[in-house]
């Protein structure tokens, strides 16, 4: 099936701000040789670059077009004589790719590199020539999109090419912008390929390029790529969806009338807004048909409301929810909480009096530009601060955008890059640990399949203050994101101040404190792999386990159930509490272990003994609720006392010895000690101690907490 036949036709009104009023918008999906080259004779250089220049000037009126013409001349002369499989001159491909980016508002440097993006790969032009003629930035971008030599890499050429592009994208996101536009034009003309090659290219597009377009926020490219892939990989479902859309075209569409009623409401409220009917693309219609079953007329599109300011978005929302019946479950505020790909909008839906449900998107015109073009709409994010300030001032005077006037002085100096989100930084980190192309390729697809991102905060106040992770990530993922391979020694975590296991899942906005062991022999256990979601964590854990097979076995053995270890001292006896009951035996309650000068209460139990509790103990309230009468208790003048302390820690070698040594340094005698079997690498110790002076208890507890691996010490 021809790729050109797979595109929905009714989307030209979806991006009205991408053209100036009165200028005829070119239909990118139907650009052919005639549209690109114009009616010129073969022996004369056509003015094909004119279409690109027109689209570029619509966004950047003051742009210098001379560099584009020079790039076109070099590209046309280099590709002369080369033909595409469709039979068109090869130059039509870089021209089409550049026109796609120009329509999205890309700045001049991106368009220059786009015209030249295949010259180094397919012609005699070298990178040195590109650098000499067009500068370092253009050279870097062209090199980033140039494929590696298949003769050098063999079957690994495709994954290694993507690795190269992604690494380059980490330094300049415009590399991936050109790659996405390049793939879009190739997908449009894929019909000339063999069916098996169409399917292979479509699968890579689905698994890698479409998720990248989503993450970079380039919805205009992503939605069309989705439709093209849908037509190739699911032809029957595509034909069914096409039939649904065709049948709807012959019916009365309720959305224009609903849009007019919304215009009236907003006009009466004094809100200046543009209300558009935005048809759904094929994949969107397919998804909603599976969700709702039989479709109604209003299901084939949505209302898009464009306003000037953020406050107007909420004003529109208030009017819609006041004058219509809102569908509360459909409301989402992506302005207050933007998506991780820069997307901002208000989403809502309302029901009309005749039973139709209209979905509505409300956004400013700037939000709309970013929603459609993503990082392409940001202009040049790599300019120095001084150049940016100068460009902004010039743009304000001329009405142009800052990106049209910025030229980067040094493309390799340190930059503050607003387009490098957490997912890209994670990808660049873990790919360094995946030298095997097959591992890189499989893990890359798995990473890009994650469609949600969360942000957690570091409790230690370190930089950066936040950690970006995929949805479903655990404390293990946070540990490797923060500490790298040093996370092998992570022994626990506190989430929002509460101790939790490393396998616990994190939620957006959690505060995480990761606890590391001081023992160099500590390492991850094999079950960490079941709870690690990020490639960086999985690769690091797998490498450690492979290098330490004995260590993995030891960790598993340590976690196995075993009988509690008890150490009993030579001394027994009671405490120094005295009950006002003649000849009564006095015991200190094990549930709260009172010590001087605690306020205490005593109760007579079976056998006539008096059990002494702290007055705050839950057992005291229970005794009194049962009508039991308390016995007055006081402390002897002697300062010594007996107390039971609970120490909670993470398992490690020599921990019991270190704890008892810390206790001994405080001059305290161990009456008995019990160590319970470890659970999820956590160990609970119980110590009954004889203190020479009760006032030394706080210092003793501090000393025990200072032992590496101990995270809490409390009275029993």
Place of tokens 């093209």: 228
Q: Is 583 a catalytic residue?
A: no
| Secondary element (H or E) of residue 689 | strand 682-691
**Set 4, 17, 62, 121: catalytic member:** 121
- Please state, in angstroms and rounded to a whole number, the distance separating the CA atoms of residues 381 and 402: 10
Tokens of 580: 């006002």
- Please state, in angstroms and rounded to a whole number, the distance separating the CA atoms of residues 672 and 686: 8
- Please state, in angstroms and rounded to a whole number, the distance separating the CA atoms of residues 450 and 121: 32
Q: Are 454 and 473 in contact (CB under 8 A)?
A: yes
Q: Is 658 a catalytic residue?
A: no
- The closest alpha carbon to 511, from 553, 556, 551, 454, belongs to 454
**Partner residues linked to 682 by β-bridges:** 650, 679
- Please state, in angstroms and rounded to a whole number, the distance separating the CA atoms of residues 499 and 506: 13
**Partner residues linked to 402 by β-bridges:** none
CA 34 and chain centroid, separation: 43
Q: Are 523 and 493 in contact (CB under 8 A)?
A: no
Burial per residue of 371-410, b for 16 or more beta-carbon CB atoms within 10 angstroms, e otherwise: bbbbbbbbbbbbbbeebbeebbeebeeeebbbbbbbebee
Q: What interhelical angle do 255-268 and 310-323 show, nearest 10?
A: 110
Q: Are 368 and 334 in contact (CB under 8 A)?
A: no
- Please state, in angstroms and rounded to a whole number, the distance separating the CA atoms of residues 673 and 685: 7
Place of tokens 């790298």: 484
**Set 122, 158, 519, 640: catalytic member:** 122
- The closest alpha carbon to 303, from 242, 373, 390, 361, belongs to 361
Taking the CB of residue 674, how many other CB atoms lie within 10 A of it? 16
- Please state, in angstroms and rounded to a whole number, the distance separating the CA atoms of residues 607 and 585: 9
Q: Are 653 and 694 in contact (CB under 8 A)?
A: no
- Please state, in angstroms and rounded to a whole number, the distance separating the CA atoms of residues 538 and 458: 21
Measured CA to CA in angstroms, residue 448 lies from 175, 284, 340 at distances of: 18, 20, 13
- Please state, in angstroms and rounded to a whole number, the distance separating the CA atoms of residues 185 and 549: 50
Q: Where in the sequence numbering do the catalytic residues fall?
A: 121-122
């Amino acid at each position: 099936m021809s790729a050109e036949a797979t595109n929905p036709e009714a989307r030209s009104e979806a991006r009205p701000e991408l053209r100036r009023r009165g200028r005829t918008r070119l239909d990118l999906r139907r650009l052919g040789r005639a549209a690109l080259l114009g009616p010129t004779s073969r022996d004369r250089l056509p003015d094909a670059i004119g279409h690109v220049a027109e689209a570029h000037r619509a966004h950047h009126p003051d742009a210098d077009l001379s560099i584009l013409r020079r790039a076109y001349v070099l590209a046309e002369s280099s590709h002369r004589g080369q033909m595409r499989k469709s039979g068109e001159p090869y130059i039509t491909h870089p021209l089409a790719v550049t026109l796609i980016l120009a329509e999205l508002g890309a700045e001049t440097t991106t368009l220059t590199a786009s015209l030249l993006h295949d010259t180094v790969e397919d012609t005699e032009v070298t990178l040195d020539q590109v650098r000499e003629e067009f500068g370092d930035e253009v050279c870097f971008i062209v090199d980033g999109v140039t494929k590696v030599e298949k003769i050098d890499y063999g079957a690994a050429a495709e994954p290694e090419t993507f690795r190269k592009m992604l690494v380059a994208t980490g330094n300049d996101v415009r590399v991936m912008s050109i790659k996405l536009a390049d793939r879009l034009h190739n997908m449009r003309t894929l019909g000339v390929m063999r069916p098996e090659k169409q399917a292979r290219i479509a699968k890579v597009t689905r698994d890698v390029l479409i998720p990248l377009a989503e993450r970079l926020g380039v919805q205009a490219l992503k939605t069309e790529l989705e439709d093209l892939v849908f037509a190739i990989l699911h032809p029957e479902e595509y034909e069914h969806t096409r039939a649904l859309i065709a049948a709807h075209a012959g019916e009365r569409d309720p959305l224009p009338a609903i849009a007019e009623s919304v215009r009236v409401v907003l006009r009466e409220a004094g809100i200046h807004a543009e209300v558009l009917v935005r048809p759904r693309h094929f994949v969107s219609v397919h998804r909603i048909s599976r969700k709702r079953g039989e479709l109604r007329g209003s299901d084939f599109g949505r209302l898009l409301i464009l306003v000037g300011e953020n406050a107007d978005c909420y004003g529109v929302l208030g009017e819609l929810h006041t004058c219509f019946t809102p569908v509360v479950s459909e409301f989402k505020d992506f302005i207050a909480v933007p998506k991780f790909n820069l997307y901002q909008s208000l989403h809502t839906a309302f029901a009309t009096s005749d039973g139709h449900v209209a979905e509505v998107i409300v956004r400013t015109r700037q939000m709309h530009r970013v929603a459609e073009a993503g990082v392409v709409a940001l202009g040049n994010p790599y300019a120095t601060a001084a150049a940016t300030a100068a460009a902004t001032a010039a743009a304000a005077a001329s009405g142009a955008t800052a990106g049209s006037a910025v030229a980067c002085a040094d493309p390799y100096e340190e930059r503050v890059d607003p387009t490098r989100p957490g997912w890209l930084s994670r990808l660049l980190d873990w790919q360094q640990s995946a030298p095997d192309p097959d591992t890189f390729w499989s893990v890359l697809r798995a990473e890009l399949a994650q469609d949600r991102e969360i942000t957690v905060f570091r409790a230690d106040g370190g930089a950066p203050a936040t950690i970006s992770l995929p949805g479903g990530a655990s404390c293990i993922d946070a540990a490797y994101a923060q500490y790298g391979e040093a996370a092998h020694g992570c022994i626990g975590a506190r989430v929002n101040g509460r101790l939790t296991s490393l396998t616990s899942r994190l939620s957006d906005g959690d505060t995480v404190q990761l606890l590391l062991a001081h023992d160099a022999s500590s390492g991850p256990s094999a079950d960490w792999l079941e709870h690690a979601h990020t490639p960086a964590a999985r690769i690091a854990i797998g490498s450690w386990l492979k290098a330490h097979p004995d260590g993995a076995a030891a960790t598993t053995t340590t976690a196995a159930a075993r009988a509690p270890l008890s150490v009993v001292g030579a001394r027994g006896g009671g405490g120094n509490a005295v009950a006002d009951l003649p000849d009564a035996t006095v015991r200190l309650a094990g549930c709260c272990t009172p010590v001087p000068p605690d306020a205490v209460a005593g109760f007579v139990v079976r056998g006539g003994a008096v059990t002494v509790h702290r007055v705050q103990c839950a057992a005291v309230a229970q005794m009194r609720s049962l009508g039991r009468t308390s016995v007055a208790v006081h402390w002897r003048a002697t300062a010594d006392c007996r107390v039971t302390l609970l120490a909670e820690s993470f398992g490690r070698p020599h921990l019991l010895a270190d704890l008892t040594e810390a206790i001994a340094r405080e001059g305290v005698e161990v009456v008995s000690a019990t160590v319970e079997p470890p659970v999820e690498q956590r160990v609970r110790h119980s110590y009954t101690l004889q203190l020479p002076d009760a006032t030394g208890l706080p210092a003793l507890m501090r000393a025990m907490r200072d032992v590496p691996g101990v995270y809490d010490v409390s009275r029993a």
